[in-house]
Amino acid sequence: MNKPDQPNKIADRTTWAIAGGVLLGIGVGFFFLQEFPLAFVGSILSG
């Protein structure tokens, strides 16, 4: 059982996963930015 003074490890991993996905979406979106600006937004949302 978790002690009250210890942070929840699962919640910490989900924030890292969300942030990593957004950064990956931005990186992929830069390839589409010149020709398809809407694909850049879609890459961020899908990441």
Q: How confident is the model over 12-23, as pLDDT tens digits?
A: 778 888 888 888
Q: Give the distance, in angstroms, between the CA of residue 21 and the centroid of all CA atoms in the same chain.
A: 3
pTM: 0.61
Local confidence band at 4 (pLDDT 50, 70, 90 cut-offs): low
CA distance 11 to 6: 12
All structural domains of the chain with their residue ranges = 21-47
Tokens 């957004």 belong to 22
The CB-based long-range contact list for 25-34 (8 Å cut-off, 24+ gap) reads none
Residue 1 in this model has a pLDDT that exceeds 60: no
Query: What does the DSSP 8-state code read for residue 6?
Result: S
CA distance 34 to 15: 30
